[in-house]
Structure 1
Amino acid sequence: MNASADIAAALNRLAADEPLADRAAHLERLAGGSFDLLVVGGGITGAGVALDAVSRGLSVALVEGGDFASGTSSRSSKMIHGGFRYLQTGDVALVRESLRERHALQRNAPHLVRVMPFMIPLFLKGGVINPKLSRALGGALWSYQLAGAWRLGRRHKRLSHEEVGQHMPALDMERIGAGYMFYDLRGDDARIVFAVLASAAERGAVVVNHARCIGLSEMKHGRRTARIEVDGTTIEVSAGMVVNATGVWAQTFLDGVGVDSPRKLAPAKGTHIVLPIGLMRNDVAVSLPVASDRRTVSVVDQGPFVYVGSTETTDPADVNEPSVTESDLTYILDGINRHLTRKITPDDITSGWAGFRPLIADGKSAHSSDLSRRHSIEQDAEGLITVTGGKLTTYREMAEGTVDAVCAALGRKAKCTTRQLRLHGYCPSASHLNDGERLGKRYGDRAAKVEELAALSPALAGRITPRGETIVAEALWGLRAEMGASLADVLFRRTRIATYDGRAVLADVVDIAARIGRAAGWTDNRITAETETLKTALRQELGVLALSLPHVADNSSKEDIQ
């Protein structure tokens, strides 16, 4: 038996009991199947609905037209926050809801989220700090604490001028007098989606990616029939209820199935750029004001990287192909550079991403900062419910309300159980792991399997890019155990290396595809096809950042797998 066969056998053994490992089995159950509920959309909202419904005893199928989490749910700011800034608009109820759900996610998925210190510098005006502004910020932080932030067991604090500089040495401290520190949570948005989907699949839900709903029949005999286009063929699925959880495409889906809706979405574009951590040297997240408008940009440390954003605009754009534009780049660089001693240039950027949030328009304002972060659950037609809006932090409560409506329509009585439901990979000690235990902080109790896989070969333990920490074994795990259908699927959404080091991946794409492809046992033709698909995805995602690429150092782990 050669090395590739040994690796394949070990991978099959390690992934055998993983709930997302066998896409063919899920697809077999989907085709011609009859379910209580069909969920259309495989982002965090749809995943949450599927888990809530199946945990109440409903038979559930979920289909996603692209890859799971390929829309908004992999393109957020990756913060599990209570919405401190929503206090400015007086939406205390939303803040309380968010803080309650933040605590639930921390309890149920300690391997996916961790505490994030967040610093707000206080800027000088005329050589002094505005006392009114300082008191107002301090008062708002106390309100945040009383609204539910206390559940983290951390209290905000005032920082001295020196302390602010220690937390982010790249700041121009001549304009800063002091600061405040408060605490929220952070998490990998796409990894949370996969944990929720795996939890649903463990309980019997059928979940299939790259399966597009292209038609929906009228309600007949208490059921609707959906036509699903998947793997070059069309299948039919019957369901008592259908939930439209397609996010920014919610109205497009309704139009496609001939259903009118008075609801209006105002997708808000958010863009982030990624830099090497050494340029900022921040050990906390930092909020900095943008001079040109009333928004802020956040600077968030992420291992060897730091990401900065977001622009959050409602300018017309194609939600199907979000990418970093020249105006996005200019806005973020102008916004951040006025606060730094060493100015950032486009050549410093390692990657970037853009996405759209499905915000609900109220007709009163065109500014995305004024649009509602609340969610909407509406029965648009018999047997069809649409859930839109909301945010990552409150996904579980959105799902609970949606499934309450589904159960009412089906005449089923079943209580929600997800408030205390531990997510796939649950590992209570994961939140206390140090930076050297990265796999445990990503995979929870499955980390040992990825580590065992990596130990089989130096090539599997090798980093995919020189700067990133992601190893080849993680890509194989994503392909085999997490329903990754392509190299783009695993590098963007399961490992995230293409998200944080996309320019390096694009510059070295042929070698990277070959290393992963050989380890996966792909043919030369498959490797070539995957290379071209990944190139296209990277160029689309990076936008203007793909037009010129930085030099990429030789990778130190390029051992061939014989």
Structure 2
Amino acid sequence: MAGNTPFVRQDLIERAIGQSEPWDVIVIGGGATGLGTAVDAASRGYSTLLLEASDFGQGTSSRSTKLVHGGVRYLRQGNVSMVIKSLRERGRMLRNASHVVHPREFIVPCYQPGDKLFYGAGLKLYDVLAGKRGIGRSVLLSREEVIAANPSVRTDGLRGGVLYLDGQFDDARYAVNLAKTCVEQGGVVLNYMRVSGLLKSGGRVDGVVARDVHSDAEYSFRARSVVNATGVFADSLRQIDDEAAPSMIRPSQGIHLVLDRSFMDSDVAIMVPKTDDGRVLFGIPWYGRVLLGTTDTAVDTIRAEPRPFEEEIDYLIEHAGRYLRTQPSRRHVRSVFTGLRPLVSKDDHDTKSISRDHVIRVSRSGLVTITGGKWTTYREMAADAVDHAAEVGGLPAAECVTKSLRIHGWTEARGDGRMSIYGSDRPAIERLTSEIRGGNRKIHARLPYTQAEVVWAVRHEMACTVEDVLARRTRSLFLDATACRDIAGGIASIVAEERGMDRDWARRQEKSFLETLANYEVAPVGGDGHDLPQIGGRPTRLRPEKAVASSTEGQLSEK
């Protein structure tokens, strides 16, 4: 289908309910894995419907470290096969979505004797494993060369470093582009369509019941195969299918802090392969800010809107000061965001050692569950899931074509400047900017986005709420939570006008968004994070006994 296929929610709902035959594949979950699976299925010619309970990428998939990488730490773990697979997929993402994914230089600063040779050798192996898919060779740097490349690095005891290249992207923007790609391939994707049950015939799953979060209308959709791609909530849907299903997921929480660019005024990122407790630390330029992460904390409670623990915030601030010339403090944090990784459980309770590889399970009733993995390998995971779904559903054989499938927005040459992230949509957004009143006006002095981008998000990217606009269509909430507090009411008014909603709706939207925003703000004084009141969605037990509504990427409803 053409790249200008309409992407309007109500039109897609009508297509979904107008389908007379069972869908070949229904995908539950609108994160990286679910969207990738839907794109793969639709591009093979299978009739495909994706249902997401919240917004596309609302959960883990918009809260990554923004890297498309082989995983240097996997080399340290000896997981060479994961590195090779990830580097292969990194190359495909750079080629098929060059408007969203781009190379980024990293420096590993070295302070101990032997570090430069040790990490240099490891990164040379990284180069070799990348082969023809490599994006640049690693280089040993002297102390002076490290300082010249990134003057923000702490110089006390600095002995030199290693320069290497990896990929960087905007995860939420990529997710929206995948959703559009699926529609262009003939599929249907719906956000805010919560699956509330599984349909069965003769003991086999053959469809779902879903409720529109906005209208409260309930629909039944039949399918030849159903894929559970609900991330950290995968066990909950599996246990709706089979109450005796054992848990697969051991969730791990990771947080990131966003600082002003002044703390690392360089386009070269920093990677510390091993802090004193064995974790990896990144400092990465991102949209005029510095992204600092990450943590790896086992959690026993899954929340739709997870909150950072105070000790996680303190850990990142303290360790940033060990490798940056200027020690940041809590008052310097523009935003903090938290994601839950759906790690596949093993006996080892150390989440740093639990598998990041993906796993597929097919239940006795035919429900296909895919979980684990990471953004970089989403395409390969999706292909595996569709292969299983086709077998379960008895679908005609069809080859996977996504190795070379260009993602929505792809252009021959990546443009310059911030707007290049929109790729082939950029000219239309620029026209809209000149067509609407105040289109070129920035939404806040500390944010780069314009009112035209807000309108575009609602009209053409299925943004339904203030959070959709400020967290995922733009990255405003991740870049500056306080600025978003200032503009929440104004953005609510724009969204309401575009959607034909009244002032009461806009006020409710503003209130709801401000409740969510509190999870992104850092208090000036630390405390025991476990005792902080929860402001986001209410906790969800890992093994709900009476879960009747399945989520997707980010939510689960219980009764």
TM over 0.5: yes
Tell me which amino acid in the other structure corresponds to 1:54: A
Query: Against the structure 1 CA distance between its residues 504 and 149, is the aligned structure 2 distance closer, same or farther, given a 3 Å change threshold?
Result: farther
Any idea what SS the aligned residue of 1:27 has? helix
- 1:167 touches 1:282 (CA, 8 Å); kept in 2? yes
Query: Against the structure 1 CA distance between its residues 71 and 284, is the aligned structure 2 distance closer, same or farther, given a 3 Å change threshold?
Result: same
Any idea what SS the aligned residue of 2:403 has? helix
The answer for the alignment partner of 1:159 in structure 2 is: 141
The answer for the alignment partner of 1:25 in structure 2 is: 11
CA-to-aligned-CA distance 1:273-317 (integer Å, 9 cap, x gap): 111112221311101367551112200101321110111211334
Query: Against the structure 1 CA distance between its residues 51 and 186, is the aligned structure 2 distance closer, same or farther, given a 3 Å change threshold?
Result: same
Deviation at 1:540, TM superposition (A): 3.2
Q: Which among 352, 357, 376 is matched to residue 393 of structure 1?
A: 376
* 2:447 is aligned with 1:468: yes
Any idea what SS the aligned residue of 1:306 has? strand
Q: Which among 419, 435, 438 is matched to residue 418 of structure 2?
A: 438
Q: Could you tell me which runs of 5 or more consecutive residues in structure 2 were left unpaired when the two chains were aligned.
A: 527-559
The answer for the alignment partner of 2:292 in structure 1 is: 308
CA-to-aligned-CA distance 1:426-473 (integer Å, 9 cap, x gap): 11211xx33xx2112x11011011111112356221222212211111
Deviation at 1:175, TM superposition (A): 2.1
Any idea what SS the aligned residue of 1:350 has? strand
The answer for the alignment partner of 2:227 in structure 1 is: 243
CA distance in 2, matches of 1:341, 1:541: 26
Any idea what SS the aligned residue of 1:332 has? helix
Query: Against the structure 1 CA distance between its residues 91 and 151, is the aligned structure 2 distance closer, same or farther, given a 3 Å change threshold?
Result: same
CA distance in 2, matches of 1:212, 1:340: 44
The answer for the alignment partner of 1:203 in structure 2 is: 185
The answer for the alignment partner of 1:94 in structure 2 is: 82
CA distance in 1, matches of 2:149, 2:435: 40
Tell me which amino acid in the other structure corresponds to 1:525: D
Tell me which amino acid in the other structure corresponds to 2:485: L
Deviation at 1:224, TM superposition (A): 1.4
CA distance in 2, matches of 1:160, 1:457: 53
The answer for the alignment partner of 2:128 in structure 1 is: 146
Task: Output the TM-score relative to the length of structure 2.
Answer: 0.88
The answer for the alignment partner of 1:267 in structure 2 is: 251
Tell me which amino acid in the other structure corresponds to 2:473: R
The answer for the alignment partner of 1:453 in structure 2 is: 432
Tell me which amino acid in the other structure corresponds to 2:16: L
Deviation at 1:546, TM superposition (A): 12
Tell me which amino acid in the other structure corresponds to 1:447: R
CA distance in 2, matches of 1:260, 1:107: 44
The answer for the alignment partner of 2:390 in structure 1 is: 407
The answer for the alignment partner of 1:497 in structure 2 is: 476
* 2:360 is aligned with 1:377: yes
CA distance in 2, matches of 1:340, 1:104: 33
Q: Which among 95, 109, 112 is matched to residue 107 of structure 1?
A: 95
The answer for the alignment partner of 1:532 in structure 2 is: 511
Query: Against the structure 1 CA distance between its residues 406 and 158, is the aligned structure 2 distance closer, same or farther, given a 3 Å change threshold?
Result: same
Deviation at 1:515, TM superposition (A): 5.9
Any idea what SS the aligned residue of 2:303 has? coil
Deviates more, 1:407-416 or 1:485-494: 407-416
The answer for the alignment partner of 1:116 in structure 2 is: 104
Q: Could you tell me which runs of 5 or more consecutive residues in structure 1 were left unpaired when the two chains were aligned.
A: 1-15, 125-129, 548-562
Aligned runs of 1:128-139 on 2, under 5 Å?
Answer: 130-131=113-114, 133-139=115-121
CA-to-aligned-CA distance 1:31-64 (integer Å, 9 cap, x gap): 3742111100000100111111111111111100
- 2:337 touches 2:519 (CA, 8 Å); kept in 1? no
Any idea what SS the aligned residue of 2:225 has? strand
CA-to-aligned-CA distance 1:392-435 (integer Å, 9 cap, x gap): 000000011111111222332111111111111111211xx33x
- 2:7 touches 2:180 (CA, 8 Å); kept in 1? no
- 1:114 touches 1:185 (CA, 8 Å); kept in 2? yes
Any idea what SS the aligned residue of 1:240 has? coil
CA distance in 2, matches of 1:502, 1:149: 41
The answer for the alignment partner of 2:218 in structure 1 is: 234
Deviation at 1:179, TM superposition (A): 0.4
CA distance in 2, matches of 1:217, 1:269: 33
CA distance in 2, matches of 1:290, 1:330: 18
Any idea what SS the aligned residue of 1:529 has? helix
Query: Against the structure 1 CA distance between its residues 518 and 405, is the aligned structure 2 distance closer, same or farther, given a 3 Å change threshold?
Result: closer
Deviation at 1:495, TM superposition (A): 0.9
Q: Which among 460, 463, 475 is matched to residue 481 of structure 1?
A: 460
Tell me which amino acid in the other structure corresponds to 2:89: E
Deviation at 1:380, TM superposition (A): 1.6
CA distance in 2, matches of 1:485, 1:457: 20
CA distance in 1, matches of 2:224, 2:524: 46
Deviates more, 1:145-154 or 1:513-522: 513-522
CA distance in 1, matches of 2:318, 2:29: 36
Q: Which among 252, 256, 259 is matched to residue 236 of structure 2?
A: 252
Deviation at 1:253, TM superposition (A): 1.3
Deviation at 1:254, TM superposition (A): 1.4
Aligned runs of 1:270-419 on 2, under 5 Å?
Answer: 270-288=254-272, 291-363=275-347, 365-411=348-394, 412-419=396-403
Deviation at 1:524, TM superposition (A): 3.0
Provide the identity percentage: 32
- 1:503 touches 1:545 (CA, 8 Å); kept in 2? no
Deviation at 1:523, TM superposition (A): 3.9
CA-to-aligned-CA distance 1:198-218 (integer Å, 9 cap, x gap): 111112111111111111122
The answer for the alignment partner of 1:3 in structure 2 is: none
Query: Against the structure 1 CA distance between its residues 513 and 90, is the aligned structure 2 distance closer, same or farther, given a 3 Å change threshold?
Result: same
Any idea what SS the aligned residue of 1:338 has? helix
Task: Output the TM-score relative to the length of structure 1.
Answer: 0.88
CA distance in 1, matches of 2:522, 2:236: 24
Deviation at 1:329, TM superposition (A): 1.1
- 2:84 touches 2:130 (CA, 8 Å); kept in 1? yes
- 2:274 touches 2:281 (CA, 8 Å); kept in 1? yes
CA distance in 2, matches of 1:234, 1:329: 42
Q: Which among 55, 80, 83 is matched to residue 68 of structure 2?
A: 80
Q: Which among 33, 38, 52 is matched to residue 40 of structure 2?
A: 52
Any idea what SS the aligned residue of 1:418 has? coil
CA distance in 1, matches of 2:32, 2:24: 20
CA distance in 1, matches of 2:128, 2:117: 17
Any idea what SS the aligned residue of 2:10 has? helix
The answer for the alignment partner of 1:9 in structure 2 is: none
Tell me which amino acid in the other structure corresponds to 1:380: S
Any idea what SS the aligned residue of 1:227 has? strand
- 1:305 touches 1:500 (CA, 8 Å); kept in 2? yes
Q: How many residues align?
A: 520
- 1:21 touches 1:483 (CA, 8 Å); kept in 2? yes
